[in-house]
């Protein structure tokens, strides 16, 4: 089953939990966007608090504990036997983190609305402002459903496999760094900006296009692959794009913000 779902397919579903995961580094707050209009029945999922632990040495968006994630998902109405659809504004840059985290903690049926709220509205489908009332869910979080990397494993993968850097090229090169204290990339990592995974309107490119794109970056059969970004958010988008292409990949959740927390780790530029 594809990890993506179209607006038409979503509008035809009746027994589904819908999570609004709009989030942007620097704002505006996703809860504000949700209040201004959302898909009927959707509940707001806060990336910073529901999909991550507080920032620290583990990175800016470390994995939540199983206990805290389970509690958050149950509050949002998530059950293990009911499908979940997640969305953001358009390109899944934040919704992918919800998709990945739910999959990591064992949910069997999670899909991302391709094109997000923008695509939903372009189809003339309704948007509401009233917050949805949902019954508590019964989701049981069991970690390990998706492969993860720590810093040492990411370094080893960059040396013996393919480690994709999902950030913008100028951040990879170390020319700018708007968030973290050190600029550059993990030595041996390959630049693969997530912006190239989607069309101008925000929908994912076709699976064949994505396979070819990743093939040119060294992702071929038999070679292990992983992804990282600044804090494990856009790298989840990379993992999602790889899944659309039929390629399994691991996520370095701590990503660059965890890597540079240890000053002894090497940094490459250029």
Residue 208 CB neighbour total at 10 angstroms: 10
| 153 and 249 Cβ atoms separated by less than 8 Å | no
From the candidates 72, 229, 233, 247, which is the catalytic residue? 229
Q: Is there a catalytic annotation at residue 229? A: yes
Token pair 């693969």 in the structure block, residue: 192
Alpha-carbon distance 33 to 30, whole Å?
5
Which residues does the annotation mark as catalytic?
Answer: 229
């Amino acid at each position: 089953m594809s990890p993506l779902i179209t607006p038409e397919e979503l509008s035809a579903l009746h027994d589904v939990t819908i999570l609004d995961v709009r989030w942007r580094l620097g704002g505006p707050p996703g809860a504000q966007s949700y209040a201004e209009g959302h898909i009927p029945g959707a509940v707001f999922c806060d990336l910073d608090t529901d999909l991550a632990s507080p920032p620290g040495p583990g990175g800016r968006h470390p994995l939540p504990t199983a206990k805290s994630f389970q509690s958050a998902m149950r509050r949002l109405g998530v059950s293990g036997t009911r499908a979940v659809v997640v969305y953001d504004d358009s390109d899944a840059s934040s919704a992918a983190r919800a998709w990945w985290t739910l999959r990591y903690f064992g949910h069997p049926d999670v899909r991302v609305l391709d094109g997000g709220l923008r695509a939903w509205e372009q189809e003339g489908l309704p948007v509401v402002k009233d917050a949805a009332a949902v019954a508590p869910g019964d989701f049981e979080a069991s970690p390990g459903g998706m492969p993860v990397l720590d810093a040492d494993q990411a370094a080893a993968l960059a040396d013996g496999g393919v480690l994709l850097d999902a950030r913008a090229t100028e951040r990879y090169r170390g020319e700018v760094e708007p968030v973290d204290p050190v600029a550059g990339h993990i030595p041996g990592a390959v630049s693969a900006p997530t912006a190239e995974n989607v069309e101008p309107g925000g929908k994912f490119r076709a699976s064949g296009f994505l396979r070819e794109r990743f093939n040119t970056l060294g992702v071929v059969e038999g070679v292990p692959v992983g992804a990282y970004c600044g804090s494990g958010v856009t790298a989840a988008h990379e993992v999602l794009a790889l899944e659309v292409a039929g390629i399994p990949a691991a996520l370095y959740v701590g990503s660059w913000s965890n890597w540079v927390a240890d000053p002894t780790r090497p940094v490459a530029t250029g």
